């Protein structure tokens, strides 16, 4: 057969394909995903697992008129390939290239921008109800993974959707279990039967006939529930008001296509449960879907190869080691993660302290309030969470932790820019949104050694403290094995110059030191965004002509704003230049190039200072 994929520029021809062509297309899409991700890096296991489902959806539904809403969106590479972006796949997650997640600005087929979990049902319901209100005949389909279904927002949406009369289909992509062949064959038959018009009509007729005889009607309802319950876990979702169908094999087009066709013609909210396998079709990813979840570049014929040279220790690894060392000394410590064990560095902690490790699922709100409950009983919770994920628990942070002034440590990974994951995962806003909360403190370590020390400082406090640190490695300063703390709320002068003082918050200290050499400027490692070292700030303000603040976070409301506020309180008037992330979302790309483009590398810092303070800079050079 001639290749199909090179001839496709949009999904419309797929609707005319027969079953053999659909299977051929799925094979070609899987090969395309593997080839491109191995060259660019990105999410692999999840995308290999959704190939057949994606092909079937574009075959059955009239996209983009019918709306497909992908939860999280890290499994949409097949969708991108089929919707006119195959030739741009080599630019995946590269600066100026296509995103690793759905983006409305990128394609009309990306109906809703995602990257965080559990939003799909709410968004799809909104689209379905909008279509009904406008009198438009269209379907809305939410595709959500079993992990994302652990979040409360998903159940809030299910609760709302179950009473809505609209064309909504929720597909649960369950990739945490497998179907043996006999069960798969049986479920294929049952799914098609239950999604067919005959079953739906018979069920409704039977209920209407028996409605006049309440005991018989109740008996019929119970029989229906128990008969379906023997082969499918229908009860929960039907209680929400959905018609549940499945589970079916998500890699079997002979199951997927007729079932979707039948569901398309049913009224009211529908729920389809499909079972897929992460890494499907690539044996190495099937065997280790975690390792192949988000690999860098690799040779598909060989697989992921460990680097021959020992890579620099990452901030995440520093945190993981600190957590284990502190737990060994203090039995009150408990570690909490919202489904990010590997990403947040808790693998060893779980192995060594299983009774003190809590993975609460994708439930950031619950994670924070759960930590508050533990703290109320005298334990010392450490919540390991990405900066951008903590945004989802802001109310709990204020009401359940800060107002009660509970000693919870928040280890904020991925602070600042994150590179290929882009704006949705960048931790740009934690300093502004945390520093306005009473009782909260914020530590900004400049390197790996300080990260360990400031984590200890945070742990010693009797109030909530956040320690923010970036993705990957920093300057490469090896931490001490001791658990020594740094003074709370105190900074340090790292270089004494004259004229201009640079106040650095976090890892940008090191490019600031390089820029300061050329300018003969003073550099202060502030370490804390809250509380500020006001005594040191006032001393520097009185002895220098101008102040520069530097942070890998949003300028608006950030650490630089805190400096301006403190100067105003002290009655000190000095020209201040604030450097940091501008008031716009920073898209995906190489982190070094992104920082350079924003003027946050050594050359950019120097250029910005010289442009803002030309007289001082000239006099110093």
pLDDT tens digits for range 575-618: 999 999 999 999 999 999 999 999 999 999 999 999 999 865 44
Q: Does the active-site annotation cover 392?
A: yes
Radius of gyration of the chain (CA): 27
Annotated active-site residue 495? The verdict is no
Among residues 370, 371, 375, 335, the alpha carbon closest in space to that of 355 is found at 335
Catalytic residue among 28, 52, 364, 551: 364
pLDDT tier for residue 317 given thresholds of 50, 70 and 90: very high
User: Residue 424 is encoded by which pair of tokens?
Assistant: 């949705």
CA distance 268 to 161: 9
The per-residue pLDDT for 26 is 96
Nearest to 293 by CA among 46, 113, 502, 86: 46
Closest residue by Cα to residue 44 from 33, 53, 29: 33
Tell whether the model's pLDDT for residue 42 goes beyond 70: yes
The mean per-residue pLDDT over the stretch 134-154 comes to 91
pLDDT tier at 183, thresholds 50, 70, 90: very low
Q: Distance (Å, rounded) from C-alpha 315 to C-alpha 496?
A: 28
Beta strands in 182-251, from DSSP E residues, in sequence order: 243-249
Q: How far apart are CA 411 and CA 406, in angstroms?
A: 15
Residue 374 or 340, more confident: 374
Quick one: which H or E segment has residue 354? Answer: none
Mean pLDDT value of segment 345-369: 95
Supply the DSSP symbol for 476: -
Residue in 408, 405, 411, 323 with CA at minimum distance from that of residue 368: 408
User: How far apart are alpha carbons 323 and 556 in whole angstroms?
Assistant: 32
Determine how many CB atoms are found less than 10 A away from the CB of residue 215. 8
Whether the per-residue pLDDT at 191 is higher than 70: the answer is no
Q: What is the mean pLDDT of residues 357-378?
A: 95
Contact between residue 390 and residue 412 where contact means Cβ atoms under 8 Å apart: yes
Residues 510, 399: Cα–Cα separation, whole Å? 37
Looking at the DSSP bridge assignments, the partners of residue 411 are: 384, 467
Decide if 371 contacts 383 (C-beta within 8 A): yes
What was the pLDDT predicted at 311?
84
What is d(CA 502, CA 509) in angstroms, rounded to the nearest whole number?
9
Contacts of 332 by beta carbon, 8 Å cutoff, 6+ apart: 378, 379, 380
Tell me the average pLDDT across 13-30. Answer: 96
Flag the least confident range among 105-114, 184-193, 519-528: 184-193
Q: In this prediction, what percent of the chain has a pLDDT beyond 70?
A: 89
Residue 205 has pLDDT above 50, yes or no: no
CA–CA separation, 428 and 333 (whole Å): 28
Higher pLDDT pick, 198 / 489: 489
**Quick check: 178 pLDDT over 60?**
no
Lowest mean pLDDT among 15-29, 191-205, 571-585: 191-205
Tell me which DSSP letter residue 100 carries.
S
Q: How far is CA 574 from CA 126, 544, 568, 570, 578, in A?
A: 51, 9, 10, 11, 12
The 10 Å Cβ neighbour count of residue 499 is: 18
Q: Which of 86, 188, 392, 468 is catalytic?
A: 392
The angle that helices 197-210 and 214-229 make with each other, rounded to 10 degrees, is: 150
The continuous run of DSSP H or E covering 551 comes out as strand 546-554
Q: Give the per-residue pLDDT at 234.
A: 66
**Strand, coil or helix: 506:** coil
Structure-token pair, residue 562: 């805190």
On whether the CB atoms of residues 493 and 432 are closer than 8 A, the answer is no
Q: Which residues contact 578 (CB under 8 A, 6 or more apart)?
A: 548, 549, 555, 558, 560, 561, 564
User: Cα(64)–Cα(109) distance, rounded to whole angstroms?
Assistant: 5
End-to-end distance of the chain based on CA atoms, in angstroms? 70
Tens digit of each residue's pLDDT (9 = 90 or more) over 206-241? 444 445 555 555 555 555 554 444 444 566 788 888
pLDDT for res 267:
87
Q: How far apart are CA 432 and CA 430, in angstroms?
A: 6
Between residues 257 and 187, which one has the greater pLDDT? Answer: 257
* Confidence grade of residue 193 (pLDDT, cut at 50, 70, 90): low
Q: Strands of 387-491 (E only): list them.
A: 409-413, 441-443, 465-468
Q: At what angle do helices 152-161 and 120-134 cross, to 10 degrees?
A: 30
Q: Is the pLDDT of residue 141 over 50?
A: yes
For residue 170, what are the CA distances in angstroms to 125, 157, 594?
9, 11, 38
Across 199-203, 278-282, 497-501, 598-602, least confident range: 199-203
**For residue 208, which phi and psi values (nearest 5 degrees)?**
-70, -35
Q: What is the mean pLDDT of residues 277-291?
A: 90
Number of H helices, E strands in the chain: 25, 17
Token digits of residue 310: 């020992």
d(CA 553, CA 468): 10
Whether the bond between 345 and the residue before it is cis, its omega within 30 degrees of 0, is: no
Q: Which of residues 537 and 190 earns the better pLDDT score?
A: 537
Catalytic residue among 278, 435, 468, 471: 278
Query: Nearest 10 degrees: CA dihedral of 366, 371, 373, 377?
Result: 160
CA 138, CA 168: separation in Å to the nearest integer? Answer: 9
pLDDT digits (tens, 9 = 90+) for 327-343: 999 999 999 999 899 99
Q: How far is CA 376 from CA 367, 380, 462, in A?
A: 14, 9, 12
Among this protein's residues, is 93 annotated catalytic? no
Average pLDDT (410-416) is 97
Tens of pLDDT along 48-77?
999 999 999 999 999 999 999 999 989 999
Q: Could you identify the residue written with the tokens 């995946």?
A: 92
Query: What is the mean pLDDT of the segment spanning 247-254?
Result: 92
Measured between alpha carbons, how far is 245 from 188 in angstroms, rounded to an integer? 10
User: Tokens 């939410």 belong to which residue?
Assistant: 142
Contacts of 496 (CB under 8 A, 6+ apart): 522
């Amino acid at each position: 057969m001639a290749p199909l994929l090179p001839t496709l520029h949009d999904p419309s021809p797929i609707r005319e394909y027969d079953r053999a062509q659909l299977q051929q297309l799925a094979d070609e899409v899987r090969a395309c995903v593997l080839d491109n991700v191995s060259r660019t890096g990105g999410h692999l296991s999840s995308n290999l697992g959704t190939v057949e489902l994606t092909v079937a959806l574009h075959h059955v539904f009239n996209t983009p008129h019918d709306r497909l809403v992908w939860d999280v969106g890290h499994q949409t590479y097949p969708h991108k390939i089929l919707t006119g972006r195959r030739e741009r796949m080599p630019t995946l997650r590269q600066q100026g290239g296509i995103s690793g997640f759905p983006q409305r600005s990128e394609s009309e087929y990306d109906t809703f921008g995602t990257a965080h979990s559990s939003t799909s049902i709410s968004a799809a319901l909104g689209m379905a109800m909008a279509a009904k209100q406008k009198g438009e005949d269209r379907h809305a389909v939410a595709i959500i993974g079993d992990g994302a279904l652990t979040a409360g927002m998903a159940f809030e949406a299910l609760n709302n959707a179950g009473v809505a009369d609209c064309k909504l289909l929720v597909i649960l992509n369950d990739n945490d279990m497998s179907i043996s062949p006999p069960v798969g064959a049986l479920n294929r038959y049952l799914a098609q039967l239950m999604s067919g018009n005959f079953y739906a009509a018979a069920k409704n007729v039977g209920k209407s006939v028996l409605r006049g005889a309440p005991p018989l009607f109740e008996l019929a309802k119970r029989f229906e529930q128990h008969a379906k319950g023997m082969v499918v876990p229908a009860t929960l979702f039907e209680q929400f008001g959905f018609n549940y169908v499945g589970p079916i094999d998500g890699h079997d087009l002979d199951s997927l296509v007729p079932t979707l066709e039948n569901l398309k013609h049913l009224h009211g909210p529908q729920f389809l449960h499909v079972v897929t396998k992460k890494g499907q079709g690539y044996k190495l990813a099937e065997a280790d879907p975690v390792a192949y979840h988000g690999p860098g570049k690799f040779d598909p014929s060989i697989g992921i190869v460990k680097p021959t040279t020992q890579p620099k220790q990452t901030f995440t690894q520093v945190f993981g080691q600190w957590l284990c060392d502190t737990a060994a000394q203090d039995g009150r410590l408990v570690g909490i993660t919202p489904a990010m064990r590997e990403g947040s560095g808790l693998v060893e902690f779980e192995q060594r302290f299983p009774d003190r490790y809590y993975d609460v699922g994708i439930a950031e709100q619950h994670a924070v309030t759960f930590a508050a409950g533990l703290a109320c009983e005298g334990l010392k919770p450490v919540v390991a969470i990405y900066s951008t994920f903590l945004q989802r628990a802001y109310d709990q942070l204020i009401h359940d932790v800060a107002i009660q002034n509970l000693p919870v440590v928040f280890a904020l990974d991925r602070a600042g820019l994150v590179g290929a994951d882009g704006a949705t995962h960048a931790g740009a806003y934690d300093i502004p949104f945390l520093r306005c909360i009473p009782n909260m403190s914020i530590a900004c370590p400049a390197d790996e050694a300080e990260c360990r020390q400031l984590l200890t400082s945070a742990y010693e406090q009797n109030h909530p403290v956040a320690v923010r640190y970036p993705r990957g490695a920093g300057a490469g300063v090896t931490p001490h094995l001791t658990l020594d703390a740094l003074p709370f709320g105190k900074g340090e002068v790292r270089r004494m110059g004259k004229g201009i003082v640079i106040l650095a918050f976090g890892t940008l200290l090191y490019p600031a030191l390089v820029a300061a050499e050329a300018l003969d400027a003073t550099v202060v490692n502030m370490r804390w965004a809250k509380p500020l070292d006001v005594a040191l700030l006032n001393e520097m303000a009185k002895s220098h002509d101008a102040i520069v603040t530097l942070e890998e976070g949003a300028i608006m409301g950030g650490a630089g704003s805190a400096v301006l506020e403190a100067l105003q309180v002290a009655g000190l008037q000095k020209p201040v230049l604030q450097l940091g992330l501008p008031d716009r979302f920073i898209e995906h790309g190489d982190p070094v190039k992104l920082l350079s483009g924003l003027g946050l590398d050594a050359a950019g810092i120097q250029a910005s200072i010289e442009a803002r303070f030309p007289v001082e800079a000239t006099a110093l050079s």
